[in-house]
Chain A
Amino acid sequence: MERQQIVVSGLGGQGVLFVARLLADAAIRKGAGVLTSETHGMAQRGGVVVAHLKVGDFESPLVRESRADGLLVLSAENFRLHRRFLAPSGWAVVNAPPGGLTGGSSRVCAIDADGLAKEFGNLHAINLVLLGYALSGPAGVEEESPLFCSAEEIREVLRRRMEGKEKLLDASLAALALGMKHGKR
C-alpha cells in the first residue's frame, strides 16, 4: 500500500481528532503502520485543533510543510492557516459555505458541511459529512477516492468503535452517507 500523509484541521469541538482516529484505525485494519499527532488542552475549547496522520513506514509523527497528500479542513478559516502543509499535487476538502472559499486550485473542493449538518439537525455531524464527501471522490479530484481507504472500510471502523451504541452508529453512518451523496459516487 502506498504511503499517505494527511492533515485534518478544524476548531475545538468539531471532531478533528475523531476523524483522524477513524482514518488511523482504517490504516491498521489494512495492515499499515500509522503515526498521528493530536492537539489537546486549551485549544480544544473552540481554538485551532489540527491532527497529522501518516500512513506507511514513517517515524516522525508530524507532516512537514508541502508534504501532505491531502487536507481535510472542517472550518474554512483554517484553510489559510494550514494550506502550507499541502504538497503541490495534493488535494484539499474544505467545509465552506457556498462561495466561501477563495484562492483554491482545482484540487481544492468545498462542501457546505455546516449547512448539511444543520439540515441533518446535528452540528456534531460536520466531521463525518466532510469525511463522507472526501471518501466519495469530490469534484475536482480525478481519483475515485483520494484517501488510502474506502468508505466501506470507514463504515467497518465505525461499527467496531460503536459496538453496542446503535443509535450513535446509525446517526454516524447517516452523516457519512449524507456527505457521500454530494460526491461523484
Chain B
Amino acid sequence: MARPPEDRILLLGNEAIAHALLENGCRVASSYPGTPASEILSALAKLRKERGVEMHAEWAVNEKVAFEIAFTGSLTGLRAAVSMKQVGLSVASDPLMSAAYLGVKGGFLVISADDPGPHSSQTEQDSRLLAMMARIPVLDPSSPAHARELVAAGYELSELFEVPVMLRPTTRVCHACQDLPPGKVLPFPREADFRKSTARWAATPAFRYELHRKLDEKLAAIAAWPRTAPFRANPEAAGPKAVVASGVAAAHAREILREAGLWDRLPLYHVVQPYPVHSEFVSRLLSSHEEILVLEETTGVIEMQLLDRRRVRGKLTGAVPEAGELLPEIIAEAIATFAGTGADTARARDPERGGRRPTLCPGCPHRSSFYAIRKAAPDGIYPSDIGCYTLGMNLGGVDTVLCMGASVSQAAGFYQAYRLSGKQVDIVATIGDSTFFHAGVPALIDAVVQEARFVLVILDNATTAMTGFQPTPATGKTAAGEPAGSVDMEALVRACGIGFCKAGTPSRLPEFIGLLREAVAYSHAKGPAVVIAREPCVMDRSQADRLPAPVNVFIDETCNGCRYCTTRFECPALLYDEEGKRVAIDGLLCTGCGVCLHVCPLGAIREAPPEGKAP
C-alpha cells in the first residue's frame, strides 16, 4: 500500500484541476471568484508564474465576461477553460446557450462547481440542468484524482466533437485534499489561428436551426463515446438490484458497500458522464436489473434519463432526499433500505446545523459602516449583497440578499414601490467593491435614468475578501500579482450619472455618520447618492501597510453591562462577562481600530496612553 512520498504532494481538488489544466495545454483561463471554485484560477495563475508557462489566466469582472474570453480563446484553436461557482454559471448562461450551438475549435472546459448543502451559496442548484438546457456533455468527478483525469478526458471530448464540455465538481471534490503527483508541463505547441466562418461564428437564426440539428447529432455520438462510459466498480458482484452513482456520492457508496458487506452482492455502476448518459448503458441497466437506486447530487439528472422509471428509486421517488448534501450517513441509510439489510446507524437530522455563527472580523471596516448606517438612517431599509458584508445582518444592517448586484436594483425597487404608496423611506444599500464592478454598474445606470432615490454605500476594501483576496478591477494587479490596468471607481460612478459621490473612512465614525446623513438628505432631494466606504481589509496581508496605527482601548468602571456594544457593534474582541456583569476587551483579538471608543452610550470604552497599560 505504501506510496513513495517524494513524488506525491497534497493537492486541494481545485489545485488538482489547475495542475491538470496546465498539463493538458490550457492556454486561456478565466474566472470570477466564488466558493467552492475560487482556488482553481488562483492556483493556475501561481503555477503559470512559477513554471514560466506562456498563458493567459485572468480574474474577469464577472462570469459572463470570463466565459466569453475563454470561449473566444478556443475559437482560435487554443485550449481554454472558464471556472466559476454554480450561481456564476447563471450569470454566464447567456453565452453558454449560444456557445453550445456554435461549438468550439480548441478544447473548451466550462468548470462549474456546485455546492450541495449549501455550505457557502444562495442555492443548491445543479449545474448539470443548465448543461442539459444548453445540450452540452457534463463530467462528474468523484475525487481530486478523478477531477484531474476528467480534465484530460474533457479536452479530448471537446476537441473530438467540437463542443464545450462541462466539468462539474462539487464542494467535496473542490475542497477535498488528496496525495497526488505534481503536474508536469508538457510542450503543447499551438498558435492562435482564427478561421473565419460567418455561417458558424456569427450564425443568424437561419443557420441556428442547422447548428441545433448538428448539436443533437453530436450528443447522440457522445452518448456512445467509450472513454466516459459508466463502469462497474465491483465487476464480481451480481444480483437483481443495482446502485448507480456519480460524483462524490459514488466515492461514499464504494466505502459504504464494503463496510456493509454488500460489495460482492450489490452491483455498483459509476457514472462519469451524467449527461448525456450513455444510451447503451441505459438499456442494459434496465434490462438486467429488477430495481435500481440512483445516488447523485443534487437533482435527479441521471435518474430522469432512465426512460423507464418504474424500477428506478432516487430523488424523483423520494428514496433519496432532494434537498441538502448526500452525506455518507444518508447514503448508508438509503443503501441499507434499498438492499433490505436494515439501517445500520441512527442518524441525527440536520447534523451540521448549530454552533457559532460567522461574524465580521475584529477591526473589520464593514462593522463601522453598518453601525454608521443604522445611526444615520435608523428607520431605513437596508438592501445588501453577496460578500463578507452579508454578515452585516448580525448588526441589523442587512435586510435583503438576493444575488450579485441586486442590492442596487432592490434599493431602486423599494423606492419605486414606496413612492407609489406616497411614502418616503430612507433606503441605504450596501455592496462590496468587487460585487459593484461585477453586476452593480448596470443597476446604478438604471437608477439614474429612473430617478430612484436611495443611498448606495460601496464597501471598498480594495479586495475580494470573502473568497480569498482576489484583486478587483480597481486593484491594478493580475491574478498572479503582476501590475495590470485599473479602473477609477469614483470616475465610473460619476460616469453612470451620479451627482453625489463622496468617499469616506468608516473607522472615523462621527465623520462617516455625518457623510451618510448628508447622502440620505441628498437622495431625498435630488436622486441616487453614492458613498464610498474606503478602508483596507484587516485580513488582507498585501494591504497591511495601509492600516492605521493601533489604538489602545480599555473599559473603565462605569460599564454597567448594558451590552449595547456587544449586540449593536458585535465586535468579537468585546466580551460580556456573565459573572462580572460587564464587558471586557480581549487584548489578543483586539486590532486596536479604536472604533468602539465612539460606540459606548456611557463613554466607558476609553483610550489608554499608547505606551502604558490601562490605569
Q: Which positions in A face B, CB cutoff 8 Å?
A: 1, 11-13, 20-21, 24-25, 27-48, 56-62, 64-66, 75, 77-78, 81, 84, 118, 123
Give the contacting residue for A47; candidates B4, B345, B356; CB below 8 A.
B356
Query: Are A59's CB and B254's CB within 8 A?
Result: yes
Closest Cβ of chain B: how far from A99's Cβ, in Å?
Answer: 14
Give the contacting residue for B361; candidates A36, A45, A77, A81; CB below 8 A.
A45
Interface residues in B451-500 by Cβ distance below 8 A to A read 466-467
Contacts A28-B9, A118-B588; is A35 near B252 (CB within 8 Å)? no
Query: Are A37's CB and B172's CB within 8 A?
Result: yes
Q: Which 7 residue pairs across A and B have the least CB separation, nearest first? A: A41-B120, A47-B358, A41-B35, A31-B2, A61-B176, A48-B355, A123-B588
Query: Are A35's CB and B347's CB within 8 A?
Result: no
Closest Cβ of chain A: how far from B488's Cβ, in Å?
Answer: 29
Q: Which residue of B has the minimal Cβ distance to A64? A: B328
Closest Cβ of chain A: how far from B179's Cβ, in Å?
Answer: 5
Contacts A34-B178, A45-B361, A64-B329; is A81 near B355 (CB within 8 Å)? yes
Query: Are A28's CB and B179's CB within 8 A?
Result: yes
Query: Are A37's CB and B176's CB within 8 A?
Result: yes
Query: Are B255's CB and A36's CB within 8 A?
Result: no
Give the contacting residue for B178; candidates A35, A39, A45, A66; CB below 8 A.
A35
Residues of A within 8 A of B5 (CB): 28-31
Chain B, residues 1-23, CB within 8 Å of chain A (1/0): the string is 11111001110100000000000
Closest Cβ of chain B: how far from A111's Cβ, in Å?
Answer: 18
Contacts A37-B172, A61-B248, A65-B329; is A46 near B36 (CB within 8 Å)? no
- Report if B589 contacts A (CB, 8 A): yes
Residues of B within 8 A of A36 (CB): 10, 176-178
Chain B, residues 346-375, CB within 8 Å of chain A (1/0): the string is 011001001111111100000000000000
7 contacts between A and B (CB under 8 A): A25-B10, A39-B119, A47-B357, A61-B172, A62-B252, A65-B348, A118-B588
Which of A43, A56, A77 gathers the greatest number of chain B CB atoms within 10 Å?
Answer: A43
Give the contacting residue for B36; candidates A41, A61, A64; CB below 8 A.
A41
Query: Are A45's CB and B391's CB within 8 A?
Result: yes
Q: Which residue of A has the minimal Cβ distance to B588? A: A123
Query: A47–B328 Cα gap in the complex (Å)?
Result: 23
**How many A-B residue pairs lie within 8 Å, measured between CB atoms?**
145
Query: A35–B144 Cα gap in the complex (Å)?
Result: 9
Residues of A within 8 A of B172 (CB): 37, 61-62
Q: Which residue of A has the minimal Cβ distance to B387? A: A42
Contacts A46-B572, A64-B329; is A34 near B254 (CB within 8 Å)? no
Closest Cβ of chain B: how far from A144's Cβ, in Å?
Answer: 23
Query: Are A40's CB and B10's CB within 8 A?
Result: no
Closest Cβ of chain B: how far from A67's Cβ, in Å?
Answer: 9
Residues of B within 8 A of A59 (CB): 143, 251, 254-255
Residues of A within 8 A of B178 (CB): 33-36, 61
Q: Which residue of B has the minimal Cβ distance to A75? A: B356
Query: Are A77's CB and B356's CB within 8 A?
Result: yes
Residues of A within 8 A of B228 (CB): none
Closest Cβ of chain B: how far from A116's Cβ, in Å?
Answer: 12
Query: Are A21's CB and B10's CB within 8 A?
Result: yes
Q: Which residue of B has the minimal Cβ distance to A65? A: B329
Known interface pairs A40-B35, A45-B358, A61-B172; 18 further A-B residue pairs with C-beta atoms within 8 A, sorted by A's residue number? A1-B1, A21-B10, A33-B1, A35-B177, A36-B177, A36-B178, A41-B35, A42-B388, A45-B359, A45-B391, A47-B358, A62-B172, A64-B328, A64-B329, A78-B355, A84-B351, A123-B588, A123-B589
Residues of B within 8 A of A39 (CB): 119, 175
Q: Which residue of A has the minimal Cβ distance to B354? A: A81
Residues of B within 8 A of A31 (CB): 1-5
Residues of B within 8 A of A24 (CB): 10, 177, 179
Chain B, residues 373-411, CB within 8 Å of chain A (1/0): the string is 000000000000000101100000000000000000000
